Structure 1
Amino acid sequence: MSLSKNFKMMSLYNQRINSQLMAHCLTLPSETLEKDTHSFFPNIISYWNHILFGDLILMGRLASNNIANLSPLDLSAFPKPGSPQDLYHTNLLDIALLRTQVDALLIRYCDNLTEEDCDRFITYTTTEGVAITKAVADVTQHIFNHQTHHRGQLTCVLSQAGINYGCMDLPVIVAEGSR
């Protein structure tokens, strides 16, 4: 499977899993969403905020290089990730709306991504202020790895809260990916 085809599959998986987990989280009372998880992030709301913040930073780096027809204009309606505090939302409905919009944009980006795009290199400044050059494929892969990593932490917290969030197996969730 080519990288671009893999990223298209991952964008669909990403959207479906985010939607599935968010639907469960939206049923939780505020006390549960804001309760100290004694984990990497202090509460469930913080997990969702961090995943969203990471996506917008990474997509901004790609957009500033006009990769796969993604431009800075595409991100203009979203909060500007200057610092985590700029994105922090306390209302899960606000996060859910933004999450849906970012996932749709990520699908569009991956639908337009070519093998040639994947082989390109971009230079950007990290959040620590360091200039770095990376392959577009590496940056795109990191979007999915970052989300998967933190969703894994989130599902542990949800399990501890007694939430059965359902199947998360890639071949089951995105069956068309194997074609």
Structure 2
Amino acid sequence: MAKMNFNDYGRAMAKYNIWQNGVLYELCEQIGDAERRRDRGMFFGSIHATLNHLLYIDHRILGILKTGQAEPFDARTIMADDFETLRKMRVETDAAIAEFVDSSDHGWQDDIRELMGLDGVTRKLPRQLFLMQLFNHQTHHRSQITSELHKMGLDYGITDVPLTPDLPL
């Protein structure tokens, strides 16, 4: 591959996201429900709550990408209370992200959106920035979870983007 454009970026990161979330959920399954729900002093308390938060924000950002709009933010939103439902929704959401970035309609990339942040400031932002935020947000919170898994003696393994299996480039 000689060059990489924004569409290539989206496809590569969607593939990376699927890979990393698969690894994460496999390890989280191994520790059991009590350990996933234990308050570990993380920003969202538990691994389970952090997984919920990731899924919720992905749905919000995917809405912005698809429609230019976001539902009102509610930090208390619970996407799924049980791990199996949460895992199923994660797989479905990752597939929806991959489908979105693989779409042949890239007109959304030319769009500028006004969005009021949690800080109360309204900004005019390119929708492309939201795709970057989706993947950055995932990495940020996955690292919080992997830190906790490491403390339990679980090796998370490789997280390098260039080593993503079967990159679609």
Query: What is aligned with 1:46?
Result: 49
Q: How many pairs does the alignment contain?
A: 166
Query: What pairs up with 1:12-161 in 2 under 5 angstroms?
Result: 12-65=15-68, 83-112=74-103, 117-126=108-117, 131-161=122-152
- CA contact 2:66–2:108 (8 Å) conserved in 1: no
Of 128-137 and 92-101, the range deviating more from structure 2: 128-137
Structure 1 gap ranges (5+): 67-71, 73-79
- CA deviations on 1:110-157 (whole Å, 9 max, x unpaired) are 112666543421234445665432111111100000001111111101
* Equivalent residues of 1:4, 1:118 under 8 A apart: no
The whole-number CA distance in structure 1 between the counterparts of 2:104 and 2:16 is 16
Q: Which moved more, 1:110-119 or 1:159-168?
A: 110-119
Larger displacement relative to structure 2 (92-101 or 107-116): 107-116
Q: How far 1:36 moved relative to its partner?
A: 1.7
Judge conservation of contact 2:15–2:167 (CA < 8 Å) in 1: no
Q: Do the aligned partners of 2:37 and 2:48 also contact (CA within 8 Å) in 1? A: yes
Identity of aligned residues (%): 25
175 and 150 in structure 1: CA distance in 2 versus 1, 3 angstrom threshold? same
User: Aligned with 1:132: secondary structure?
Assistant: strand
Partners of 1:105 and 1:40 lie apart in 2 by: 27
Alignment TM-score, normalising by the size of structure 2: 0.85
The answer to whether the Cα contact below 8 Å between 2:65 and 2:108 also exists between their aligned partners in 1 is no
* TM-score scaled by length of structure 1: 0.81
Give 5+ residue unaligned stretches, structure 2: none
Q: Name the aligned partner's letter for residue 152 of structure 2.
A: A
Separation (CA, whole Å) in 1 of partners of 2:130 and 2:72: 17
Q: Is the 8 A contact 2:33 2:83 kept in 1?
A: no
2: CA distance, partners of 1:26 / 1:99: 13
The 1:86/1:36 distance shift into structure 2, 3 A limit, reads: closer
RMSD of aligned alpha carbons: 2.4
1:76 is matched with none
Task: Describe the superposition over 1:30-81 as per-residue Cα deviations: whole angstroms up to 9, x where unpaired.
Answer: 2211112122221110110111111111111222239xxxxx9xxxxxxx77
* Residue-by-residue CA offset, 1:57-108 (whole Å, 9 max, x unaligned): 1111222239xxxxx9xxxxxxx77523332433111110110111000001
| Higher alpha-carbon deviation: 138-147 or 57-66 | 57-66
